[in-house]
Amino acid sequence: MQASAKEQGLDYEIFATAASDADQKLATNKIDVVLLGPQVRYLEADFKNKLEGTNIPLAVIDMTAYGMMNGPKVLQQAIDLMK
């Protein structure tokens, strides 16, 4: 995703974190979108509750894009959520 953003001239900070560290990251960073890996899709309801009232969009990353490490497609998913 970072390489794809750079290639497109987009100045995005993209980072991944363990689900157990997400609360700290949400509290200490300006977050525009949250994408969950398909392997933690079961946490989606928990994250919806955490993000309630924040206007931060949430989605599970497309499984095929994740499995194929298709950074441009995942980046586009994030961009679409921010619109």
pLDDT for res 44: 98
- Domain coordinates in residue numbering, the chain: 2-82
> Looking at residues 15-24, what average pLDDT do you find?
94
pLDDT for res 42: 98
2-82 adopts what CATH topology?
Rossmann fold (3.40.50)
Q: Output the pTM of the full model.
A: 0.91
Q: 23-71: per-residue pLDDT in tens?
A: 999 999 999 999 999 999 999 999 999 999 999 999 999 999 999 999 9
Give the span between the Cα atoms of 60 and 47, in whole angstroms: 11
Give the span between the Cα atoms of 70 and 20, in whole angstroms: 25
